[in-house]
Structure 1
Amino acid sequence: MDTSVTDHLLSTTRAVRRKLDLERPVEPEVLEECLRLALQAPTPGNAQAWRWLVIRDQDVKDKLATLFREVGKAYLEANIAAVGEAIDQPSVARAFASGQHLIDVIDRVPVYVIPCLQGRPSGDNATDAAFYGGIFPAVWNFQLALRSRGLGSTLTTYHLTHEAEAAEILGIPSDVTQIGLLPVAYTTVPDFKPASRVPLEDVAYLDGWGNAL
């Protein structure tokens, strides 16, 4: 295995918002390839309780976009107020501008993918860790597969504030949990760079909390 290729894929798969190509169609066969790779992710007890909704219909996207925008707009406004003068820092301003852009154009993204799980979370930490752990590796598999084919995505959760309304729009049964919404499109740039991250020694410990690795 060429680790230079896999390392590049893992270190440059970004949350893509501003660089989604809103005009280029996403071929069904490409999306299906990525979803098949998603299904290769590990799943607790091999339950494979995941379900995937692919949304292309513009009317359905418009309805979901309304829910998305309502929550996203309020979220950004609250966070802009919370950061205060820090909004003038370039990195902070860029982050908010990226989020606002996606809110503005969400209805124009070619495809939404909504990952779901059969069942409902219980509220118990151990149980819910296993519950959500049953799909997040698959979501990341899906995003890596998209990236390797020139597409981008980001896992969003705004519409989950109105999960019941979204479920009615989509015909999702009451015993199925929506995990998020991934806007999917080709990217407008051919490559991405690794992100700035805190040093490993600041976040990784050995044998006990706070012990330097």
Structure 2
Amino acid sequence: MGEYVKYKGAEVKIGTCESLYYVTYPKFKEAFDQKLLTPSEFSVHPARCLEVDSGFLFRFPFPDEDKLAFGEIGKHGFNRGLPIKIVPGGDKDLIGLKDKPTDQEFTIHLIQQKFVRRESDGTPVMAAVFSEPESRKVFRIEEGSDILKIAGQIMEHHIVHESDRKLSMQYSQIATRMLAGYGLKPDMSLRNSLNNTKRRVKRSKQISKGRGL
């Protein structure tokens, strides 16, 4: 069943059932706060979508989609995911991310966010939601200590050793946004890596501009 909302009076599809594939939480909240959203017939009230533990999953706020209009996802698929390489190295928490636990390298995809009260202490967090392609397992991470381990994997495999500067910058921004959902900031090692990536991208743009590209 499709989920719809009226944006500036026009009906816009935002997802299917509990998965709001076409809108991020920040963009939805901004439109709601500006009183641009009104209920669509047979769909849930917009205010309900924003409540903690509402059950809705929002599209992850990918940086390259920031400027798209409300409800638009551009050329990307509705179920877009960001691949993240995981090399457990004996870490039991990382090993447990896979449906069939293994210490071998595997990949998970960052796909959505879910606003929940953390089971351990009741703190509201914008939990990152991942999929494990091989088994199609979908799971969320609630604990800050666990999401920091995934951020570390992003830093190690997609930032520090990534030769594509544009891609490295994309992963840097996404890691920062992912951590922000838990009220966390990158630790010093990750922060230094993010800053170095930004400097590399800036230099790359300057070089490209000098070549007239």
Normalised to the residue count of structure 2, the TM-score between the two structures is 0.26
Higher-helix-fraction structure:
1
TM-score when normalising by structure 1: 0.26
Q: Which structure has greater strand proportion?
A: 2
